[in-house]
């Protein structure tokens, strides 16, 4: 465990000094506070990596202090609650407010060190995630001024202050997850986490544990829903969850609480749900693959995200935006996009939608310089939406026989998988059946080819 700055808040001097000795021996820098007033002063003087907070203190107790911090905004560091008179209700309330964990007094050394190590690691990963989100935020920020797309943004803006479930529907690659993140960033929950649940990537036998967490031998592992406490959970590909998992998820959303696998006490659930699907959900219901209970819970506010071909005036600004980002990231000069090239892009049907356009911009940014030419663009436009130039096979895929073997194979595989994904209605589960590929290998292949279904768009 790396050294960290720890604030210990407890009204009992012996406990404060004992914890300070233990954590000091582990290499941590420890600051002590005997009550809420002193804790406020210490927090005003320095930043801490974690806080150990006693619940039962005279005057302002630990829960009241925790509520005070939450009301002022997001907790800047993980808070571990301590109590010698704890109850299940107290632990649940502390967790609901945002505490990382709850440990009982007398405090076991092993339990303290393990809990603190996990809290610090969780905080480190959270900081890394935020840094990465800042780096790629502009790449995935939804943008467009076309009437179809502007109408969607206006709808979401109106709904940003509501907590009702939203269902984003649209073809694969249209940017549904980017819109969900955009909405989360404008909601009252923007200080909380945004957690993606890619249903198609969760094996049925692991779905319950992945979603709801687990308890075993005193060890607690938070599931994806619990990790989204106080924030937003994005459910991508809901119809790909198994029927038992769908029923359990429906019950959790209805009761606003979850029961971990192996657990006995329910945990309150405080999340906003944004679901997404590229499939025909009415057909999935009729076929028995989507439970009515879950469908009606998530279909409260359905929003149709337009395909890229329905917002042609956005194609030029989008491809130039992506080109500038990739050029800056990879240290190359931005390309020049002429009107004939942009006109050709507007003619394309874009079966992979914004994701396909982004991949094209990245490829051309890396493989060329100066003015983009039609000769460069034409081989890159693959899939059923491509025009049929000379040298085109019966499938409609451009056969560029001048490419090296590996590039030609990648071009074919990308076109093949785009078409089959379209035929599968965006379902990776069905795509795996059609292609005969194992699902984990299929996800890796989609990512390698720039049609990453994990992106949740």
Q: pLDDT for 49-75, tens place per residue?
A: 999 999 989 889 999 999 998 887 767
Tell me whether domains 5-127 and 391-457 share a fold: no
Sheet with strand 29-33: strands edge to edge: 29-33, 5-9, 50-54, 79-83, 101-104
373-401 pLDDT per residue, tens: 988 888 888 544 444 333 344 344 445 55
Fold of the domain spanning 308-381: Helicase, Ruva Protein; domain 3 (1.10.8)
pLDDT higher than 90, residue 410:
no
CATH 3.40.50.1100 fits domain 391-457 = no
DSSP-derived secondary structure letter, 381: -
pLDDT value at 133 more than 70: no
DSSP helix/strand/coil, 61: coil
Q: What is the pLDDT of residues 80-97, one digit of tens each?
A: 999 887 667 787 888 888
Angle at 271 between CA 269 and CA 276, to 5 degrees: 125
What confidence tens digit (pLDDT) does each residue in 317-348 have? Answer: 999 999 988 888 788 899 999 999 999 999 89
Residue whose structure tokens are 């029923």: 247
**Domain 5-127 of CATH type 1.20.120.80:** no
CATH no. for 147-306: 3.40.50.300
* All structural domains of the chain with their residue ranges: 5-127, 147-306, 308-381, 391-457
Whether the per-residue pLDDT at 456 is higher than 50: the answer is: no
Are 232 and 189 spatial neighbours (Cβ–Cβ below 8 Å)?
yes
Predicted confidence band of residue 271 (pLDDT cuts 50, 70, 90) = very high
């Amino acid at each position: 465990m790396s050294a960290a700055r720890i604030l210990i808040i407890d009204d009992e001097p012996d406990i404060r000094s004992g914890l300070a000795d233990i954590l000091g021996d582990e290499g941590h820098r420890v600051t002590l506070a005997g009550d809420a007033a002193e804790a406020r002063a210490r927090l005003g003087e320095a930043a801490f990596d974690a806080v150990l907070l006693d619940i039962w203190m005279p005057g302002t107790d630990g829960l009241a202090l925790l509520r005070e911090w939450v009301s002022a905004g997001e907790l800047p560091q993980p808070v571990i609650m301590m109590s010698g008179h704890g109850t299940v209700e107290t632990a649940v309330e502390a967790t609901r407010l945002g505490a990382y964990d709850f440990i009982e007094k007398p405090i076991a050394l092993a339990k303290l060190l393990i809990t603190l190590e996990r809290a610090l690691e969780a905080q480190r990963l959270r900081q890394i995630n935020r840094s990465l989100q800042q780096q790629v935020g502009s790449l995935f920020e939804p943008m467009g001024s076309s009437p179809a797309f502007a109408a969607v943004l206006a709808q979401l803006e109106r709904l940003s202050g509501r907590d009702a479930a939203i269902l984003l529907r649209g073809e694969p690659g249209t940017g549904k997850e980017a819109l969900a993140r955009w909405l989360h960033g404008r909601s009252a929950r923007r200080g909380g986490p945004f957690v993606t649940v890619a249903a198609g990537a969760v094996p049925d036998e692991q779905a319950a544990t992945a979603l709801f967490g687990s308890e075993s031998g005193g060890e607690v592992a938070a599931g994806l829903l619990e990790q989204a406490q106080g924030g937003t959970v994005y459910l991508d590909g809901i119809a790909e969850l198994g029927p038992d998992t769908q029923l359990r998820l429906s019950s959790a959303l209805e009761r606003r609480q979850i029961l971990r696998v192996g657990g006995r006490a329910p945990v309150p659930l405080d999340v906003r749900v944004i679901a997404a699907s590229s499939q025909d959900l009415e057909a999935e219901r009729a076929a028995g693959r989507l439970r009515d209970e879950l469908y009606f819970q998530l279909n409260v506010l359905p929003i149709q995200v337009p395909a890229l071909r329905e917002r042609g005036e956005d194609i030029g600004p989008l491809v130039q935006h992506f080109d500038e980002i990739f050029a800056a990231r990879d240290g190359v000069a931005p390309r020049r996009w002429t009107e004939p090239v942009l006109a050709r892009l507007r003619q394309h049907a874009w079966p992979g939608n914004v994701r396909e356009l982004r991949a094209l911009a990245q490829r051309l940014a890396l493989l060329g310089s100066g003015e983009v030419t039609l000769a460069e663009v034409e081989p890159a436009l693959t899939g059923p939406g491509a025009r049929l130039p000379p040298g085109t096979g019966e499938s409609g895929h451009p056969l560029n026989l001048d490419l090296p073997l590996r590039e030609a194979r990648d071009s074919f595989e990308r076109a093949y998988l785009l078409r089959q994904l379209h035929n599968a209605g965006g379902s990776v589960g069905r795509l795996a059946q059609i292609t005969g590929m194992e699902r984990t290998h299929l996800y890796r292949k989609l990512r390698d080819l720039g049609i990453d279904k994990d992106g949740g768009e």
